[in-house]
Amino acid sequence: MTSRYATLLAFVCLCLHSVYSAKILGVFVVPSISHQVVFQAIWKELSLRGHEVTVITPDPLNDKSLVNLTEIDVSSSYKTFREGNLQQSMSKALSVRDVVNNIFTLMATVLEEQFSHPEVQRLVRDKTKHFDLVIVEYFLPASFAFSELYNCPLIGVTSLSPPLNGLDVVGNPSHPVLNPDFFLPFADELEFSDRITSFLHSIWFRYYHHYHLLPRQDEIAKKYIGKNLSYVGDIEKNVSMLFVNENLLIHPVRPSVPALVQLGSMHIRKPKPLPKDLQKEFDAAKEGVVYFSLGSNVRSASLSADVREKIIGALSEIPYKVLWKWEDESLPDQPKNVIIRKWLPQQDVLGHPKVKVFVTQGGLQSIEESVTHGVPLVGIPFIADQPLNIKKMVDLGIAESVDIETLTKENLKAAILEVAGNPKYRNKVREISQLIKDVPMTGVEKAVWWMEYVIRHKGARHLRSPALDLPLYQYFLLDVISFLLAVLIIVIVIICTIVRLCIRIAKNHFKATKHKVS
């Protein structure tokens, strides 16, 4: 009898599970593993929960155990992306406007290559295909067109802080002083000049988005997804929710509407044992290990000879073994204490107790991994949000920063020795690590729950912010302010008129009195 009830219960559970199984399309286009690693955790978990998941990505998992997962591999776009030389396109010597334009121009080329891929075109032309939800990396608006193609809800997700247009479409406040755009290297209290810069940038970026980015993205959408589609700017307004990879301890606190869901640390996992060759090197490192990596978008091997020599000089004079993510076969003038690898299991390295400090470019995912595993940092920020991220870590007391423009052998060496040797950095980062981990549910669990919520309710229109339906003049209270100013001016004019009249009467009365006396 017991076995019969157990079988019945299992059957009921299976039926309930199948009811909530959905067809989900993910479009994650940026050819950068630091972006993709965040999204991989989401589509893997969706597949494990029984959903039928199709993903367009330059970094497929290729995990045969995920039977519900179909990955369209567009990794060929990495070549175009690297030829675009993002590192140079986002140089500090350029203005923020040039950097933004360079990024979106390069990514438009990458996107066209991906959307013209035979497998993507086969998916688009298959009239039998349907999806219950489309999830896109909230970066290039042409991707939003898939939600209209399949007439299903749209969810955006970011691997960084949300762009200003993302905040706008869910009606989330984006104060230029309290929450500057991540392209600006500002944190905490802004100087007056910074406040002016942030305010003007927020106006310019919205102008650029509406009048330059959206028209170009609309052309791409109509060319590769469907010529009869609505304007992508209108499709963008139908986003149900926006998931942002923000952690309140790393990013400035921002007010959030219900449709904006802050996740954070979505890709973090428990460290695994190191490969045998690396473990042997770590065992021999009596003083400890310094881990040096500039991430996936800033290549150490692409550094100028001058900068490379300064870094090598600093690393050769510290008492620690150095593990350096170096993308070429050999490192010129490689010091004896430096080990190079083209690729490293970063979370496993950071989770090893012998790692004293992480020298990083300041990418968000690298910082999350380092802080979660309790490793203090030395930051050498280059591009995008990296200066802002590193400044925040310095303010938290868990890092030192070295400017790439003024980097010398001496200041890099001093920063590494300070962070590795002073226990205050490690103690503080461990404290913050505990705070990050103390959450009711992981970022992935939260993301999947809200996705299934949107699927169940066929969208989340009821979470729409009323701010989206207000014209700008009402949102910013311009009509109220104008009315009150007008009333104030009228009152002042009336008072001034009465005062002048009283003065005139008084003068006349004084003259008349004086005349009678005389």
Identify the CATH number of the domain in which residue 84 sits: 3.40.50.2000
User: Could you tell me if 348 and 484 lie in one domain?
Assistant: no
514 in a structural domain: no
User: Could you tell me if 260 and 311 lie in one domain?
Assistant: no
> Which of helix, strand or coil describes residue 31?
coil
pLDDT computed for residue 471 by the predictor: 87
Give the model confidence (pLDDT) of 240-265 as tens digits: 999 998 877 666 667 889 999 988 77
pLDDT computed for residue 457 by the predictor: 93
Q: Specify the number of domains making up the chain.
A: 3
Rg (CA), the chain: 29
d(CA 314, CA 341): 19
For the chain, the maximum distance between any two Cα atoms, rounded to a whole number of angstroms, is 126
348 in a structural domain: yes
Which conformational region is residue 156 in: left (phi greater than 0), alpha (psi within -120 to 50 degrees), or beta? beta
517 in a structural domain: no
Low-confidence ranges of the chain (pLDDT < 70): 1-20, 86-93, 187-188, 249-253, 514-518
Domain coverage including residue 385: 276-437
User: Could you tell me if 73 and 210 lie in one domain?
Assistant: yes
User: Could you tell me if 234 and 322 lie in one domain?
Assistant: no
pLDDT computed for residue 31 by the predictor: 92
User: Could you tell me if 236 and 364 lie in one domain?
Assistant: no
Q: How far, CA to CA in Å, does 388 sit from each of 179, 285, 292?
A: 12, 33, 20
pLDDT computed for residue 247 by the predictor: 77
Buried b (16+ CB within 10 A) or exposed e, 223-250: ebbeeebbbbbebbebbbbbbbbbbeeb
284 in a structural domain: yes
User: Could you tell me if 181 and 221 lie in one domain?
Assistant: yes
Task: Read off the amino acid at residue 348.
Answer: D
CB 312 within 8 A of CB 335: yes
Task: Read off the amino acid at residue 3.
Answer: S
pLDDT computed for residue 74 by the predictor: 96
288 in a structural domain: yes
Residue 487's contacts (CB-CB under 8 Å, 6 or more residues apart) are none
208 in a structural domain: yes
User: Could you tell me if 199 and 234 lie in one domain?
Assistant: yes
User: Could you tell me if 226 and 325 lie in one domain?
Assistant: no
User: In 31-188, which ranges are continuous DSSP H helix?
Assistant: 33-48, 77-83, 86-89, 96-115, 118-125, 145-149, 164-169
User: Could you tell me if 365 and 218 lie in one domain?
Assistant: no
User: Could you tell me if 425 and 449 lie in one domain?
Assistant: no
User: Could you tell me if 259 and 333 lie in one domain?
Assistant: no
pTM: 0.83
User: Could you tell me if 429 and 476 lie in one domain?
Assistant: no
349 in a structural domain: yes
494 in a structural domain: yes
pLDDT computed for residue 62 by the predictor: 93
